Chains A and B, each alone.
Chain A
Amino acid sequence: MRSDYNDGTLTVFLEGRVDSNNAQDVEKEIQNILDESAAESLIINAKDLEYISSAGLRVFLHFRKTHPSFRITDVSSEVYEILDMTGFTQMLTVEKAYRVVSVEGCEEIGRGANGTIYRIDQDNVVKVYNNADALEEIQHEREVAKLALVLGIPTAISYDVVKVGDSYGSVFELLNAKSFSKILANEPDKLDWCAREYVDMLKTIHGTEVPEGKLPDMRDVAIDWVKFMKDYLPEETYTKLLSLVEDLPKDNHMIHGDYHTKNLELQNDEVLLIDMDTLAVGHPILEFASVYNAFRGFFELDHDAIEDFQGFSYDTAQKFLNKVMIEYLGTSDEAKINEVLDKARILGYTRLIRRSIRRNGLESEQGRAEIENWKKQLIELVDKTDTLTFIFNELDVEATVDNLDTVTSFINRFLEEEECPMKAQMQIELAVEEIFVNIAKYAYSPEVGRAKVRVELEQDPLKVIITFIDRGMPYDPLAKEDPDVTLSAEQRDIGGLGIFLTKQTMDDVEYEYKEGQNILTIKKNFE
């Protein structure tokens, strides 16, 4: 039996099978080596152990008694399964052997901030981490992916950690999946569809509230970017930039942080997010900073470079980005779209300049040219900008009760931005719930359809106007008679109160049916 003695620790290498035929001999042999070496701690290396029966397991129990710090390392998945089933993984320290996976010749299907994803076979992919010592990162990513899944974001969670060359990788199942980059590159007629799905997922992410402290606050990260820039920007620009970022409202909604088309996968008609290590919370503008960079910022001076990374052309990227902004903001008004993009550019350029300087960008001619380009635009943009927040005023979602949260947080974000009085905000939230739930339950029943929610302000007196549009069955909820609120409990019907509450608390409610659409409008004065 092979063994190694090192600084008080004896490592014994088990081979082949340990069962009732040889268990006693194995125990004796280990005991002899232990006695000779007088080691204080014992490690059993199970790399070449193929099978262990209950007789073999009793050997482990024996040494656990004599050497409490006893560990078993390099355990194959087959043996690990036996140890796990018999509860030994709970009693002993058992370290699994990392399966070795090669990605040579494998197709690259995704690339994120900290690793690259390859398809290793039909059903599985592996994410190989850039950092050689990535076990902690892997753990982190697993945890945030689980958190995201629980909060309702469709994603894949890794089921195994493997060794790939000198790095680690995490493996997950991804059947027949195609990245959105690939679809955009090969099926140009699907660009609009891709943009819609991309925005749907983005809105789901941005509509997801995250419990306090579970994810980093992206605003803090952005403040660090800005602080790095202190010596590289005119003082006036620096001071204003810092206050722009610090003035971003605290926001507990999720952002992805690296949301580009290689991180979105289509698997059996379902859209999945991958690469979750950058998840954070914050205002959506912090997301758009990285979205802008992914499709434009990085490639402003070198348009061809995007082809290497995404597989599609700069021209396609611009069309896609434009369509995404239209879908997200619910308007094709160019001025409005550019207003939001300009805010995104401020954060985007800040990040790009910092990144480039940290990667010795100032030492090459190309690097200096890029930094100068971003810096010049950054100074101009900061000069003309007074806030990084923006309001978007239309939401287009599947009308399901599950999407109620998305709708209410969209409305609340708008109302908070406009400093709507608390009481009015509560009443509006109630009306929005009642109306949206009605649409979700009845408009398309038993099918599912979409609903648009648009929110606007009007002056004199200051009021908010919210419009709900669906293409379901024509139905005028206002035509229904109000319930008699003076009846006693026995006489009262259960239900019918939603629209009544809306009428009572809003200043105006109107319905019309036009061009196949139910259009319901509510108005509420701020004072």
Chain B
Amino acid sequence: MLNIKKEQDNDKLTFALEGRLDTVTSPELEGAIKDSLDGVKELVMDFENLEYISSAGLRVLLSAQKTMMQQGSMKVINVNDIVMEIFDVTGFGDILTIE
């Protein structure tokens, strides 16, 4: 289960995620991001209520990061320990801007 909350403030777009970002739910996020990045300069991923992430979720994050590097910036906020460990093991801790 994944709940995606989207909030747009001019060219700043925030996705607040709740639940699990896995093989089953990642395509939803991928679709949501794809449909809304036009003209966005600042993309924020709020992970406060994200409990779980697998490589399918990392894939979506990396592709969003690549897109945002062309047109602005992306940051991930409120990352919990479990997700942070996955970021560290995979080197995503260095690739992404994490607050």
Which bracket fits the contact residues of A? 20 to 34
Known contacts A404-B24, A489-B69, A490-B69; A434/B55 CB under 8 A: yes
Q: Assess the B89–A401 pair: CB atoms within 8 A.
A: no
Which of A102-110, A157-165, A269-277, A497-505 forms contacts with chain B? A497-505
**What is the chain A residue whose CB lies nearest that of B65?**
A489
B84 to chain A, nearest CB (A): 12
Q: Which of A405, A490, A497 contacts B90 (CB 8 A)?
A: A497
Residues from chain B with a CB closer than 8 A to the CB of A485 are 89-91
Rounded to whole angstroms, the CA-CA distance of A485 and B86 in the bound complex is 12
Give every chain B residue within 8 A of A505 (Cβ-Cβ).
89
Q: Is the CB of A404 within 8 A of B23?
A: yes
Nearest chain-B residue to A502 (Cβ)? B55
Which chain B residue has the least Cβ–Cβ distance from A499?
A: B55
**Residues of A close to B24: CB separation below 8 A:** 401, 404-405
| Segment 465-515 of A: residues with Cβ below 8 Å from B | 485-490, 492, 494-495, 497-498, 500-501, 504-505
Check if B52 is an interface residue, CB within 8 A of chain A: yes
Docked-complex contact A430 and B69, CB < 8 angstroms: no
**Residue interface bits A407-431, CB-to-B below 8 A is 1, else 0:** 0000000000000000100100110
Nearest opposing residue in chain A for B63, CB measure: A494
Bound: A426/B22 CA distance, A = 13
B55: chain A residues at CB < 8 Å are 434, 495, 497-498, 501
User: In the bound complex, what is the Cα–Cα distance between A437 and B23 (angstroms)?
Assistant: 8
Contact partners of A143 in chain B: CB under 8 A: none
Report yes or no: A504 in contact with B23, Cβ–Cβ below 8 A: no
Closest CB in chain B relative to A502 CB, distance in Å: 9
Q: Are B22 and A501 in contact (CB under 8 A)?
A: no
CB distance from B44 to the nearest CB of A (A): 17
Q: Are A433 and B90 in contact, CB atoms less than 8 angstroms apart?
A: no
Q: How far, in angstroms, from A498 to B58 measured CA to CA in the complex? A: 10
Who on chain A is nearest to B23 by CB? A437
Determine whether the beta carbon of B89 is less than 8 Å from that of A504: yes
List A contacts of B52 (CB < 8 A).
Answer: 426, 429-430
Is the Cβ of A430 less than 8 Å from the Cβ of B86?
A: yes
Distance of A430 Cα from B89 Cα, bound (Å): 13
Docked-complex contact A497 and B59, CB < 8 angstroms: yes
Inter-chain contact A500/B90, CB cutoff 8 Å: yes
Min CB distance A493 to B, Å, is 9
Report chain A residues within 8 Å CB of B77: none
B43-91 contacts to A (CB < 8 Å): 52, 54-56, 58-59, 62-63, 65-66, 69, 82, 86, 89-91
Total count of chain B residues near the partner, CB < 8 A: 22
Tell me the bound Cα distance from A220 to B91 in angstroms.
48
Complex CA distance for A486 and B96, rounded to whole angstroms:
12
Q: Tell me whether A433 and B66 are in contact (CB under 8 A).
A: no
A304 to B89, CA, bound (A): 64
Roughly how many angstroms separate A339 CA and B86 CA in the complex, as a whole number? 40
Find out whether the CB atom of B63 lies under 8 angstroms from the CB atom of A488. no
Our pick among B56, B65, B66, B91 for the contact of A487 (Cβ within 8 Å) is: B91
Q: For residue B63, which residues in chain A have a CB less than 8 angstroms away from its CB?
A: 494
Q: Which of A433, A437, A489 has the most CB of B within 10 A?
A: A489
Q: What separation, in Å, do the CA atoms of A486 and B65 have in the docked complex?
A: 16
Which one of A433, A488, A497 lies within 8 Å of B58 (CB-CB)? A497
How many Å from the CB of B86 to the closest CB on chain A? 7
Would you call B86 and A501 a contact (CB within 8 A)? yes
B95 located at the interface, meaning its Cβ lies under 8 Å from any Cβ of chain A in the complex: yes
A434 contacts B54, CB within 8 Å? yes
Interface string of A321-341 (1 = CB under 8 A from B): 000000000000000000000
Chain A residues near B82: list those with CB within 8 A: 423, 426
**Which B residues are CB-close (under 8 A) to A426?**
52, 82
Q: In the complex, which residue of chain A has the Cβ closest to the Cβ of B1? A: A209
Could you tell me the distance in whole angstroms from the C-beta of B33 to the nearest C-beta in chain A?
13
Least CB distance from B74 to A in Å reads: 10
A84-126 to B contact mask, C-beta < 8 Å, 1/0: 0000000000000000000000000000000000000000000
Distance in angstroms from B54 CB to nearest chain A CB is 5
A423 proximity list for chain B (CB < 8 A): 82
Would you give the shortest CB distance from B58 to chain A, in whole angstroms? 6
Is there contact, CB below 8 Å, between A498 and B54?
Answer: yes
Give the shortest distance, in Å, between A513 (CB) and chain B (any CB). 24
Nearest CB in chain A: distance from B91 CB, A = 3
Question: Does B59 lie within 8 Å of A495, measured CB to CB?
Answer: yes
Once the chains bind, are A486 and B89 in contact (CB under 8 Å)?
A: no
- Docked complex: B12-26 residues within 8 A CB-CB of A: 22-24
A residues in contact (CB < 8 Å) with B? 401, 404-405, 423, 426, 429-430, 433-434, 437, 485-490, 492, 494-495, 497-498, 500-501, 504-505
Q: Which 9 A-B residue pairs are closest in the complex by CB-CB distance?
A: A485-B91, A498-B55, A497-B55, A489-B95, A437-B23, A504-B89, A433-B54, A489-B65, A494-B59
Known A-B contacts: A405-B24, A437-B56. Give 17 more (CB < 8 A).
Answer: A401-B23, A426-B82, A430-B86, A433-B23, A434-B55, A437-B23, A486-B94, A488-B95, A489-B62, A489-B66, A494-B59, A494-B66, A497-B55, A497-B59, A500-B90, A504-B89, A505-B89
Mind listing 12 A-B residue pairs with CB under 8 Å?
Answer: A430-B52, A485-B89, A488-B95, A489-B62, A489-B65, A489-B96, A490-B66, A490-B69, A492-B62, A500-B90, A501-B54, A501-B55
